[in-house]
Structure 1
Amino acid sequence: MKELSPDEVVDIIVSLKETTDETDFNRLLAQLGVLIDYSGDTGNEKALREAVGVCEHLVSHNILSEHRSLLFYFCANAWSHLRRLTDTVSGTWEKPSSVECENELLNLRRAIREESFSKLSINERCQILTNLGNVFSYVGRFVESIDYWNMALDLDAGFSMALGNRGYGLTHYAGVLYDDGHRNLFMKSAYADLNKALTGDIHKGARQAFREYRDWIEQVLGADYVKEPIDFGEFSLGDTEEEVRYRDWCIDHRLFLNPLNDILKESVVSHDCLTTPSIVVALNEGPYYPGFYNQLKQEYVSARFLFYEGLSAEATHFSDRGVLLYNTLDYPSYSVATEKMKAAFRIAYSLLDKIAYFLNKYLRLEIPERSVYFRSIWYEDGNKHKGVRETFTTLKNWPLVGLFWLSKDLYENRADFKETIEPSAQAMYEVRNHVEHKYLKLHDSMWSGPMTEDDEVRAGLTDSLAYSMYRTDFEEKTLKIIKITRAALIYLSLAICVEEKRRESEKSGEGLIANMVLDVWEDEWKC
């Protein structure tokens, strides 16, 4: 586009807010996207903030649904440019660019939730998903970022920016792994992504960065290793068809507590090998950190299996026979399978506060036990307005930063924590609140849906005391919280590894450290 003065750009962007001609709207929308990128390239902060205002104005004024996904995408791009104007370092705690980063994440997530997202071009959808993966990785949520890059590549296997950024992200993921074998496989996978990305049409800056990372990996691992294929062989998935189906399902949904499941869907990843690295404690302290992580793992894998059982049930269970229930005429879902899924949701969600309890002890935060919550543990006195605790801000710990940013997904019914970066956060909170303390009712697909306020005919037949939702919607939410919990447990383990290395480097050299070898708890003892 022709060169414009900063004020000219601002004037054009502001004028778009007054658009009323729908036939001309598509052209103006495209112009808005170009102006946002132009403003970012020229460092025009005022124009970018005006663009955010225009996007928010158009969305709030009930613009046609077909445009909403693109508007959220443009709004995210404006916030992204604003973030880059104020920040150059990823993976750190609260900082001047945090607001920009939060809004970028929120708007990208809003974009993919809109029905109109599926109507965008494949290229536009790939861009949105790739950007979302990039921001997740930027804030330390490197496990979850992979899902978004994978979704982009499912749409277009040759989308170079998704390939390159996934390779870039996997390289950094590898850097915090404490298993050398896992680290090498991650870097090998990253090399393949970066190499393929460089064959595509990408801009000069990305090409240079991707080439530097690819060449560095080849130098570290050797040209032969990074290029030769690896035959992982076939590992047993179990002794019964039922067990094989379960483990296949876990592999396919990337649910094993095994970092390799983030890059592989082979039988070699079909075990939950992740645990705590070695932790140095005082002589009078027992092995409670490995014990606590054992418990977190056991609860996670139990929730995962309960969900699978509830999801895969095909026939009435014997425990449901002879149980007298009334037909409430709204196609309710009553069964032990349904309750297993509810239990899985409860267990998975509860693990987040337990992770906070672990951190409170491990990082010596000394927060009173009754005040330890995953959403608020990060802040002085649990008050968001007082800022992040100095204990955290002094640490350079990328996985721990990831846990902090994951906590921003959670809604709490407290003034400080009602704003989140997850559009569905309040709905997840309501589901948890009702399944734990109130009355959650699931319905089969034949249910006609929630009653509207003016539907007087159905009022007398509606269970107004229940929080009602389709069973399929609840299944999606349960899988989501299980995946979130898996990511959190990986971040926790790797954060401990980073912190132990820091503590070791700061030791004065005084005193002796004795090893305490812990044997494994054999499978046959688990009953």
Structure 2
Amino acid sequence: MGLFLKLEMKLSLEKINEAINSISNSIDQGEWVEALLGSEMMLSELEKHETSNIVLKLYFNLASQFIDVGTYLKNTDSILKGIQILEKNSEYFEKDFNITYFYNLANGKLSLANNCGYSKEEVSFKNIELFNEVKNLYWKAFKLINKSQDYDLYQQNLINLANVLKQQFRFSEALQIYNLVIKQNTIYPQAWLNRSSCLEQFDRLLDHRSHKMIIEIIKGYDFSSKSKLVPSDWKPYYAHKSKFLSSQLGSKSLEQDELETRKEYSSMSHFRQWCIEENLTLNIHGMYCPCIANERDNLTLLEGVISSGNILQFEQYLNRIKAEFSLIRVLYYESKFTDNSQFDYESCYSELDDQEIINIRYEKLRTCFRLCFSILDKLSIFLCQYFSLSTDKNTAFNNFWYKNKSSLENKTNFGLIAINSLICDLNEKNGQFGFYKIWRNALEHHLLFLVPDTFELSNDSSHTYVKISDFENGLDNLLQFTRSSIFSTVFAIVEDLRQKAPKDKQNLIEVTVHKKEFKSFQ
């Protein structure tokens, strides 16, 4: 890189741009030290120029190079320089580079949070705020990305978002996103590798390893060992992992297992198949496999042996939660596959040319939205009752944590880490989905109108207008959010029971789980 000789005069912006492009080439060729030296020199040169649009664009490109180089060299000073450049000029960058600004800033902060990929420390209440900040940035980028215009960035951002959710123990959402990217025939091995890593972490924390889980883990290592995007010196390790895990499976081939899984899946009802495809089952096995083990929502607190005499009360709470979530699924399913035109005809609404979308289908969707928040608020009571936390008549999912912060954050419990992360997403000031609470309040207490996407919005204190595509996308996300909250609540309680279990196994209570049956299906 001849441009990086000792500089004795002010470089022109054109020369700085050429140098920054040369730095990119160095990064592509793995010349990391030279790239860092060049970045330092160009930062010094840029600081000699007055601020302008061109100068800011050069700063933006340079910032991402500091982050990339710093991450590879494990140089936090370099990463911090990149982040400082981005944050110092955030107003301009948000406007002109919005998606890539959020994405690059998230990458930089995630690298710091993970010590450039070398940290062995899991997310805890000591470091969760930085991970929440990173997660918010990836969510911001996700909401702005046009999938058809920048498909690669769309997939990379989703994978990184899933990685942060995985680190915060939000397993159902992370796996749902990995599966989504994989179904789109991604070329990125990171989706497969991190999915396998997620399953291994899930197994370690919940002792849930099954034959099917091993198969799903193997798939990730197989894909990565053959990917052209994986460095050749890493491939033997992934091949070894795959071979080792395969030795635990016996004689059945992966192809044979796949055929059996498809046969079992096809034997289920259309409704259940739809629940599996939409990631709406309350079944731990169903997070990663569509086989017959996913036929029913068998999520329970009563797994194996436990040491709490009043656990049946909390299983009763879980039954109530599962019943309401089941109703949501039925309503959502009917909104997609049931013809309600006769009901709409009989309802006879007045034609006002107000463009409101009003029919039974969308009333079902509105009801689903309200019921999701009903479940979330019940989960807050569920957790407060179990952990003996304070409550009042206004206790809700979005506020119970702050009233019991010290009690909750003194615990070492991965399920509570996930709950905290979920609550932060609904924060009305900083959370990326705080507006859901506004919609919920409008649905319950004011007036919310669903309107076509072409409608010009004009909200006031008593009227809220929401574009139909925004509402449907929001409901899709809220359903996954609610499902994740249910899983996380169960995991938090199961983990607490595990920690409290006496070492003397003689004193444990063995609970036999009986499932309710329904005559029409016997």
Q: Shorter chain as normaliser: what TM range?
A: 0.7 to 0.9
* Alpha-carbon distance in structure 2 between the residues aligned to 1:196 and 1:256: 27
Residue matched to 2:426: 410
Decide which of 211, 215, 227 is 1:188's aligned counterpart. 215
Corresponding position: 1:77 with 2:77: no
Residue matched to 2:123: 92
In structure 2, the gaps of 5 or more residues are 1-25, 27-33
Residue matched to 1:325: 349
* Alpha-carbon distance in structure 1 between the residues aligned to 2:250 and 2:49: 53
Change (3 A) 1:334 1:88: same
Corresponding position: 1:368 with 2:391: yes
Q: Does the 8 Å contact 1:346/1:436 carry over to 2?
A: yes
Paired AA for residue 504 in structure 2: G
Decide which of 345, 361, 382 is 2:369's aligned counterpart. 345
TM-score normalised per structure 1 = 0.79
Q: CA deviation at 1:12?
A: 6.4
Residue matched to 2:434: 426
Corresponding position: 1:304 with 2:329: yes
Higher mean Cα deviation, 324-333 or 159-168?
324-333
Change (3 A) 1:82 1:512: closer
Change (3 A) 1:360 1:271: same
Alignment of 1:185-334 (within 5 A): 185-200=212-227, 201-203=229-231, 210=238, 214=242, 217-218=245-246, 221-222=248-249, 224=251, 227=254, 229-230=256-257, 231-232=260-261, 233-234=263-264, 244-265=269-290, 269-278=294-303, 280=306, 285=310, 287-318=312-343, 320-323=344-347, 325-334=349-358
Paired AA for residue 148 in structure 1: I
Q: CA deviation at 1:475?
A: 1.9
* Alpha-carbon distance in structure 2 between the residues aligned to 1:80 and 1:259: 28
Q: CA deviation at 1:197?
A: 0.7
Decide which of 201, 208, 217 is 1:172's aligned counterpart. 201
Change (3 A) 1:140 1:463: closer
Q: What does the per-residue CA deviation read over 1:33-92, in whole Å, with 9 as the maximum and x for residues that have no partner?
A: 222111233444444334224334555226665x32222211111112221339824543
Corresponding position: 1:394 with 2:411: yes
Change (3 A) 1:352 1:215: farther
Residue matched to 1:448: 455
* Alpha-carbon distance in structure 2 between the residues aligned to 1:120 and 1:286: 50
Residue matched to 1:146: 175
Residue matched to 2:186: 157
Paired AA for residue 419 in structure 1: N
Corresponding position: 1:131 with 2:160: yes
Aligned length: 482
* Alpha-carbon distance in structure 1 between the residues aligned to 2:145 and 2:308: 56
Residue matched to 2:17: none
Residue matched to 1:355: 379
Q: Does the 8 Å contact 1:441/1:467 carry over to 2?
A: yes
Q: Does the 8 Å contact 1:255/1:261 carry over to 2?
A: no
DSSP-derived class of the 1:389 partner: helix
Q: Does the 8 Å contact 2:357/2:451 carry over to 1?
A: yes
Q: What does the per-residue CA deviation read over 1:235-281, in whole Å, with 9 as the maximum and x for residues that have no partner?
A: 6767xxxxx44333222211111233332345653421222234746
* Alpha-carbon distance in structure 1 between the residues aligned to 2:151 and 2:348: 52
Q: Does the 8 Å contact 1:91/1:398 carry over to 2?
A: no
Q: CA deviation at 1:520?
A: 2.4
TM-score normalised per structure 2 = 0.80
Identical aligned residues as a percent: 18
Q: Does the 8 Å contact 2:162/2:178 carry over to 1?
A: yes
Runs of 4+ residues deviating >6 angstroms: 12-17
Change (3 A) 1:333 1:286: same
* Alpha-carbon distance in structure 2 between the residues aligned to 1:16 and 1:73: 27
* Alpha-carbon distance in structure 1 between the residues aligned to 2:215 and 2:495: 22
RMSD, aligned α-carbons:
3.5
Q: What does the per-residue CA deviation read over 1:301-338, in whole Å, with 9 as the maximum and x for residues that have no partner?
A: 101111222343434243x4454533331221222322
Paired AA for residue 335 in structure 2: G
Q: CA deviation at 1:189?
A: 0.4
Q: What does the per-residue CA deviation read over 1:432-462, in whole Å, with 9 as the maximum and x for residues that have no partner?
A: 11111111111245x53314xxxxxxxxxx9
Decide which of 79, 84, 107 is 1:48's aligned counterpart. 79
Change (3 A) 1:316 1:51: same
Q: CA deviation at 1:346?
A: 0.8
Change (3 A) 1:212 1:134: farther
Q: Does the 8 Å contact 2:457/2:465 carry over to 1?
A: yes
Change (3 A) 1:212 1:94: farther
Q: CA deviation at 1:428?
A: 1.2
Corresponding position: 1:18 with 2:43: no
In structure 1, the gaps of 5 or more residues are 239-243, 383-387, 413-417, 452-461
Decide which of 464, 467, 473 is 1:467's aligned counterpart. 464
Q: Does the 8 Å contact 1:237/1:247 carry over to 2?
A: no
Q: CA deviation at 1:145?
A: 1.1
